[in-house]
Structure 1
Amino acid sequence: MLVKQAANVVELMEYFARRKRPATMAEISDDLGWPRSSTFNLVGTLAEKGWLYEPRARGGYYPSPRWLALARIVSDAEPLPEAAHALVARVAEETGETTAIGALAGTSAIFLAVAESRHPVRYFAEVGDRVPVYAASVGRAILAQLSAQERQALYRRISFEAFSGTTPVSAQAVEAEIAAAVERGYHQSSSEFVPDLAGVALPLPLGERRLSIVVAGPTSRCLERRPLTARLMQEAVASFTKAFGGS
């Protein structure tokens, strides 16, 4: 279920991240296709609470530093250790492909850390990007760490959509993919959500956190290399796990 008011706040912040300069209420309304009354109410509320401010009189609104201060507090309370960022960098260097750490966010997997490939043709990803948890190896590597009961509860919240002919579009299909990955030793994907993209993912044990690490790139370069990519990832993850005492 999508709560529109909450979604609009997120959309507004993403809008400012793209725009990188203040915007008037009229500009926000026109650019986002919102009714003027809804825009006035939302912007007015955020400004009243100190989350938006006017850098110059009648020059438009912009997010205040309060967002950054809050984000830092939240991040400091539950940070990814430097070793996790080093792991992402190592795997990206050894495989030559974009590497990311994912976590569960609702019915999606969200990227917490990203190291992009240096190839001109590559998988473009950023921290905060999300993919459907069922339609990508990074998500299924997280699902595999849940209990069967937890997975079934999550499946009931998912509206399975076929993004391509390879997308698993039912709980049974996802369960079959997870079972095959356990047998294989790694999770894999091919154009299930993003066309012409091949991926390999592994669970990433870090205390009680259910994370995964994924390597993804163009199918022309990565599809046949998935077993080799998996071996490189397994070696790196084993070293990471050993450093954390198997936690």
Structure 2
Amino acid sequence: MHVKQAANVLELLEYFSRRKRPATLAEISDDLGWPRSSTFNLVGTLADKGFLYEPRIRGGYYPTPRWLTLAQAVADAEPLPEAVLLLASEIAEESGETTVVAAPAGTYAIFIHVEVSKHAIRYFTQVGDRIPLYASSVGRAILAQYDAEERQALYRRMQFERFSETTLTSIDALEAELRRAEERGYHQSNAEFQPDLAGVSLPLPVGPRRLSIVVAGPVSRCLGRRSQIADIIRRGIRRFDDTLAPASPAVQGK
């Protein structure tokens, strides 16, 4: 389900994050391709609620700090442990590749922490990006933490769209890959969702959360190193055993 009004609010906030200066109603309407009437109604509502203001008279609108205050309160209520942030940073440094911590969001894995590789040619992603659970090693490392009944409930909601020749497009194929990953000791992917991208993932349970951590980069650099990268992730998780929750029995390596 796609609620247009909610999507427009988020699109407006992203617009200001790129623009970094006030915008008039006409500029917002033209830049985002919205009707003037819809733009007027949305901006007026947000201004009435204290989320937009006019820094200068007739100089355009800009978000107020209320966004930051609310976001900070939400983040503070359930932050990622410092150990997880340090773990991701160390794995990124040792592997040389982009490292991401992901959480479940419906039938997707959503990125909640990102450490981008320093290589000129690298996998670039950002917090908030999503990837289908079935079409990614990072998603399957989350699925492995669900029991069979929970997975079947998720499968009924999945579309199993084919993104490439290597995309898994059936429940049977997905379950078979989960079994292979358990035997292998880690989850892996090869251009299933994005071209020329290889990934290696392990589950990262933190308290009651079902998280996963992935190292991903160009196929040319990462495909032949997947076992080595899995060892880097596994060693990293073991270094933080005292501050992370006990490891899940699903695909933690041997």
Measure how far apart 1:215 and its partner are.
0.1
TM-score (norm 2): 0.92
Q: How many percent of aligned residue pairs carry the same amino acid? A: 67
Contact 1:188 1:226 in 2 (8 A): yes
Which amino acid counterpart does residue 161 of structure 1 have in structure 2? E
Relative distance call for 1:166 and 1:65 in structure 2 (3 A) is same
CA–CA separation in structure 2 for the residues paired with 1:33 and 1:56: 24
| Residue in structure 1 matched with residue 64 of structure 2 by the alignment | 64
User: C-alpha offsets along residues 34-76 of structure 1, whole Å, 9 cap, x if unaligned?
Assistant: 2222222211111111111111111111111000000110011
Rounded Cα–Cα distance in structure 2 between residues aligned with 1:170 and 1:62? 46
Does residue 152 of the first structure (1) align with residue 155 of the second (2)?
no
Identify which range, 142-151 or 190-199, moves more after superposition: 142-151
How many Å separate the matches in 2 of 1:164 and 1:99? 23
Cα separation, partners in 2 of 1:86 and 1:52, compared to 1, 3 Å = same
* Deviation at residue 107 of structure 1 after TM alignment: 2.4
For residue 234 of structure 1, what is the amino acid of its counterpart?
R
TM-score under structure 1 length normalisation? 0.95
Q: Does the aligned pair in 2 maintain the 1:109–1:132 contact within 8 Å?
A: yes
CA RMSD in angstroms comes to 1.5
Query: Could you give the per-residue CA deviations for residues 3-34 of structure 1, whole angstroms, max 9, x where no partner exists?
Result: 12111111111111111111222222222222
Q: Which residue of 2 aligns with 1:175?
A: 175
- Residues 55 and 62 of structure 1 are in contact (CA less than 8 Å); yes or no, is this contact kept in structure 2? yes
**Secondary structure of 1:161 counterpart:** coil
Matches within 5 A, 1:1-247: 1-244=1-244, 246=246
Cα separation, partners in 2 of 1:5 and 1:91, compared to 1, 3 Å? same
Q: Secondary structure at the match of 1:114?
A: strand
Residues 219 and 22 from structure 1, CA distance in 2 versus in 1: closer, same or farther, beyond 3 angstroms? same
Structure 1 CA distance, aligned partners of 2:117 and 2:160? Answer: 30
- Cα distance change, pair 126–156 in 1 and its aligned pair in 2 (3 A): same
Aligned length: 247
Partners in 2 of 1:184 and 1:190 — Cα distance?
15
Structure 1 residues 114-147: Cα deviation after superposition (integer angstroms, max 9, x where no partner): 1111111111122222222221111111111122
Which secondary structure state, in structure 1, belongs to the residue aligned with residue 240 of structure 2?
A: helix
1:61 & 1:79 partners in 2: Cα distance? Answer: 31
Query: What SS does structure 1 have at the residue aligned with 2:204?
Result: strand
Structure 1: runs of 5+ lacking an equivalent: none
How far apart, CA to CA, are the structure 2 residues paired with 1:226 and 1:241?
Answer: 23
Equivalent position SS for 2:211? strand
Contact 2:206 2:245 in 1 (8 A): no
